[in-house]
Structure 1
Amino acid sequence: MKLLSALCLFLLLGLSEMKAQDQQNIGFEDGNLLGWEFEHGEVIDDTADITFQNLTRGFLPGRLELLDRDSRGDPSITVENIRPVLRGNYSLRIGNTREGGTFDRMKTKFKVASYGLIYEFYLAAILHNDRNNNHPEGGKPAVYLTLRDQNGNRIDCGSFAKQLDGTLPEGFLQERDYMYRNWSTGSVNLDPYVGQTLTLELTVHGCTADGHRGYAYFDSEIRKLELDLDSPCPDEDGFLSLNAPFGYVGYNWNNGQPGQNLKVSLPVDDEFAVKLTPHNNLNPGCMPELRKAIKVASKDTTISQTLCGGKAFRVGDTTFTTTGSFTHKIKSSTGCDSTFLLNLTFTDPLERSRTINLCKGEKYLLGDQEMDSEGIFRVRYNGSNGCDSIAILEVNVENIEVNAETKLTIPEGEPIPLKAEVEADAPYVITWSRGDTLICIDCASTEVFATNSGSYDFRLTSQSGICRIEKTLEVNVVPCGIYIPTAFSPNSDGVNDYFNIYGSPCIENVNTFSIANRLGQVVFSKTDIPHAAFEKLWDGRWFGELVASGEYYYQMTYQKTSGLSGSQNGSLTIMR
């Protein structure tokens, strides 16, 4: 465990005091864990309360995984697909997927810089219930998500807590002993917290005894949401079109209409509002609400607006796509005859430079362009403000490749070769482990002795942290033993003329071997038979003559390569 903790400290990101991060990596979209802090330890139950002990900063291999869209689905739930990523390109799986008695925690801080922002988080939880409900309620698996303002007050809409109590929690489903909730969404209106630094903390733990585990998937983002009018003036049918943001499963307008788009007829001078229902909403009372006041444009209205380059501004049936000042008159039978004084500014695409570090074989996707090789790339994509942006990307590829076996069958007691071939142009650290037990560090090849079947995990982490390569070797251990044929025919026909014995590679030597007839007369005996001499052991002769057909009996003792000894007896038939 000390070696494992040392490795975790080497891999740890953000050991220094946690500082408020900007909003860019709140959902891991930089492909790393910058801006986040991690802790882990053990859990015990003290009457009805849970106690977190042996707290260690950092994370353990296998209990914190940065996932992308190509990652495998959940290892425990099979009746439905729990995708590795719900939105964006990355998510995080946190918690022990193999055993209980442990907890894992992640934290970050972010500052709310402006109005009109919504914080959305996405959570999936898998909690392993004890079948007989033996554990006290305070000792069962749980997940806790808490968002706090800068005074430490809990923000209910940004928080979620669920600990098993022996019954199926609301919103959860059950498969075998697992109680789980697929990806769900929570939303927080950040307007009351502008200028504040908020703290987010997610903790998951298993039960305090036995192997019942608890873990979760997490992602989040900060979005700018607003209602948008197609045009400040109605169409020829006398309707204004008001549009809500895309990506929600429900829209509830304050006038009772459903749908993403609202048609408003003249005359109108009112404020419209819509409540947005996220996917699988965690907190039904916390749906985002957007408002917009609409007043039909009157005669001689001045409109000054800044738009993204490449977009268009439409008044009536006329479209404007260039910067300038314009006078436009609309005549309509609906009563919206107006003169518009337009001051329009179309901005050029925002350029920004970034360095992208990839491990060989990885890909980086921006917009509709995919990059997997080194070079300088100029990519045009839709930015978070809705305008086109240009990214100048310097892509560096760290050249590390690993080849390793994934399946192996081996006799009991034989050494299991744990080996991987690594081709690398950068320094790296290698570990072999089984479950949470570390076998070795910095060893591409090693050996362990087989006692039972199971899996062995290989992990390579480059010194830069860019490459993280994992392989799993599934080992099938077969019993160690000796097979004795039930019959042979020493009749010189070239088929089964000799009596042979067959031993696994783990059999080193047969110490004694004898065959007797029904009268108890020993017709063959031999001692100290090495593995290499197991074939053509006896030709069926006793004192130079072939023995009679019939049933005979054998006895033997043997030695294994492990040093253990054994014995075996049985019968065989001689046919002439």
Structure 2
Amino acid sequence: MCFKRSVIFFVLLLVACCAFAQCPENIGFELGTLKNWVCYTGIIPDQTGSTPIEWSAPVPPVPGRHQIIKNSSPQILDPYGGFPINAPNSSQYSVQLGNVDHSSSHGDKQAYAEKMTYDFRVPSDDYTLIYYYAVVFQNPPDHDQYQQPQFIANVHNLDNPGDDGGQCGSFSFTASAGLQGFKNSTTDKTVYYKPWSPITIKISGKKNKRFQLEFITRDCSKGGHFGYAYIDFNESNCESPITGNQYCAGQNTVTLTAPAGFETYTWTDASGATVSQTPTLKLSQPLPPDGTQYNLHIIPYTGLGCENAFTTTIQKNNESFNLQVVQNMAGCKADGIDLTQASVTAGSTPGMKYEYYTDPDGQNFISDPKRIVETGDYYIRGTNTFGCTDIAKIHLDLYDGATVTVTPPQPVCEPATIDLTKLVTTNEAGVSYSYYSDALLQKQLTTAQAAAINKTGTYYVKVVGFKVPCVTIKSVDLVISKLPVLSNTPIAYKSCPPLNLNKAIATLGDNGSVTYKFYMDAAGTVPVTNPANIIVSGNYYYKAINEYGCESINKPLIKATVVDPPVFTVTDPAAVVFPQTIDLTDTHPTLADAAFTYWKDAAATKPLDNYQAVGQSGTYYIKAINSTGCVVINPVHVLINAPPEANLVAANTFTPNGDGVNDEFRPTTEGVITLNYIKIFNRYGKEIFETKQLYNRWNGTIDGKPEPAGTYYWVFSAYDIYRKKVVTKSGSVTIIR
């Protein structure tokens, strides 16, 4: 999955001629709406990136994608580039283009894009726009360039499409780690950002033509994640990008100031001579006469706009002008200093408009002048209603509060207290302390109360510095634990041995993290060595200890009664031979107060059903339980010996002569068997006798006719019941006549 770029795009538009007496309505969003702007949403339908964006018809501003943002103090920083998202030109509103949704392409599989446009008529034949921007991209590592996220800025000639008066005004950035001027984010190594930079757009020879400004942010074509843009136009000056060409009575200097952020500046006088190559041209006494002209040539960084030339005319005004700025102020870093407060410029000409900078040339706006938190020199530009302007320095000293160290205390047990005043130390002498029991610092404690805290809670210490009254506030959690409270009602605990005193305590219910100690005596001097193995009836005592080590004072009683278990002996039975069985009820005596059951396992979980006819060797278990529920389980060992293997035993001769002696073939069997058959064969392999009953004998005849003397052969087949297998034997027998 690819990631959508984060695009932070800040724009400051300055009109480079006098055609607009006022800025186009709401170009800088100062109405707090998107009036006169047209919004679109788009879909990138093809992951290859080769298919154009499919744009919607104009839509109302979509929350999260075309969102008005009001500037705030303290200012919000971009999470990737770390620069302020407040508009840097003292305006009140900007626009967020895109959103911060990290889910896959706004919840589905397609990549998205956003667009905003603003239409206007070119007021002159030599018209220049200058805007400032910053860009942040998340750079997918496995994409082709045409699949990457993009930021696009276009200038369109609506009357003559394709003829925009200079291609340097339209450009695009495609996410890449190697983009010129971009830096790697410290918060996300996949993100690259470009801090504030200017772009120039020069439209020549197009007076009265309809033009359009267009700004686009788009996902990578494979389907991206979050993306957003902030856009702001400066509505304070749409006449000329050069300020300071007016000077009023009482001014001793004139400073012409160019727009910030270009690579080179060249100021020349009417003769063409270079008079400065910095962003400002400072003129002092004697000031140039009214109507004196100066020229400015600016060159942007490569690929970032058009070269441009401007002319400004010095104009003298007889109105009074006075810019008064306090030279030094001190404050606390935690609070910051508000440069916009009236006391900072008290005594200045009424109706003055102020702008705030970090440099004496007025090139770097302070995006949040209401809260300066760093020591240093700052600069305030004042401009009266006639356009006369000057800039003055103010030095600010910002101090940290005293360094305060809090030593967390160990919990204590009632009735002990904690001295909060001894837990806090500082590195600064002469500080003052105050103590509170609430986070809003509304419930102050006296020093005596703070020195004897007797209630668990979070307390607050406010430390005010001596040299500079900066405040440091620290919180500290104090635990003054209550003692566990136990009922003095004795616990009657009756059970079979061994008794477990912890089970007696369990009848009290859930006491949270409380643990217990047990004693042989009420004084708690003789501990019970093994409270889980009590075999003697008697009185035992206990106390409770909570999670903070606080112990109960009283030691309630446990009256423990050890119930006698059933007593019986088991005699292992004599061994028998299979298929004989053993009756386990014969291995132990009967008990009047106990019932017996029989089991295959020592835990008595697998019952033995045939305990009166056990036919398999092994260890079995006899369980006795009496009327009080006490249980004793004893083993019994059973040995069932194996019988002989299935076999046929027979004489090797017999004499069927009718004398009543050895007249028949009379075999016998060994083992526990089921007879399959006994067969007799003559010497030619012919079967002459078969029986499946052992008591059937062969008398040496076939069909009543005697067989001749000689040797015959028998085959015996039987199923060995004990060994669970078929056994086959063979042998010979001889008839003697």
What TM-score, normalized to structure 1? 0.44
Q: Which has the higher strand share?
A: 1
- What TM-score do you get using the length of structure 2 for normalisation? 0.35
